[in-house]
Structure 1
Amino acid sequence: MTLDKEDLKHRFLAAIDYGWQWEKVWHLLISHPWYQITLQTQAQNVLRKQRLPINWHEDVQQDAMLLLARSLRHRADLRVDLDQVHECFAGWMARIIARDCQEAVRQMRRQFMREQSMPDIVPLEMDRLPLDAKIDISLKIQQLNDPERTILTLWSEGFSVTDIANRLALSYQRTYYLWRRGTRQLRALLGASYLAVHVS
């Protein structure tokens, strides 16, 4: 597929003319090399301007594509001005991409601040439990689905939630959410009062 912005313009306008659903328009845009190159450039520019780690650019790009999907769900034509688009398609699309990258970075900043304010969860102190309780808990953890099973197995082996997040290359917020969901499932399997002392 050509990198030419004119190619993307013609494909996009044809899709609008044919009345494509937003999902097809989204896949058309995000799979085009011109869009991807522009997206990477804009993501890196936003990070540089805000003096944020440049290696965040892949996360910014992923979130920006999801924001584009949200816009397309509202209007599959992105409110394109058909009278002007033939002359200024590249600039118009680049502004959309830049806006999505800026919003993606704002979301990442908010998420980072939430993660910083969340307390770490200490490991489950299995050594303090009687042998039969250790066996019960270990067997019930193995009945969970992944990723909750992996997270609770590591937690029962002495890893904190921060340790688990680092080990699995997940954000703390995502790991914390999965840990909470896993412990709720574990409580249901063991009985409401079984882990009351050991699981917050």
Structure 2
Amino acid sequence: MVTPALILASQSPRRRELLQQIGVPFRPLSVAVDEVPMVGEAPAQYVTRLAFTKAQAGRASVGEKDLPVLGADTVVVCDDQILEKPENEAAAYAMWRRLSGRTHEVMTAVCLLKGEQCRQELSITEVQFWPLTEAQMAAYWATGECRDKAGGYAIQGLGAVFVKRISGSYSGVVGLPIEKLVPMLDALHLPYWQTTD
């Protein structure tokens, strides 16, 4: 069994797949964190705080300060408002009507803790949707894919057909911006495929 280079403080299958993709040996860990914005907290501040809080919670759960812990969080933002996971069908439709034919932002913050070191990065990607029809929305709701996704869609899944253009990080939209993470791994001398003996 490969010794983990870090703890991933998340049960997100997408984040696990992205770490596996670049050959990072890791162990996933579920953490419980209140995901509620503070009064007056901007989306970028909120997602950055959550990534840090998740990394802290992961380290507290492991109880080993020198074992690196990675926390991450992703939000979809439209008109400076955070679009969470849709609570029901009506909420999903409201999100899609808002995103239809428009550009929104996907923000993913990452935080890597190791000993006294704390490295944080924020990825912001612009995503433009095609205009959506009621039939498309009904069909997508029926797939069930949207129900646990921020903003009500998965760019790495069936929801990709809604996307006309992205400007920024594809992996950041999925949930873990590789172009931000790799320099963090390098700085803390943590292995991925290119640096593994």
Q: What's the TM-score once normalised by structure 1's chain length?
A: 0.22
Q: Which has the higher contact order (CA 8 A, sep 6+)?
A: 2
Structure with bigger gyration radius: 1
Greater helix fraction, Structure 1 or Structure 2: 1
Higher strand share: 2
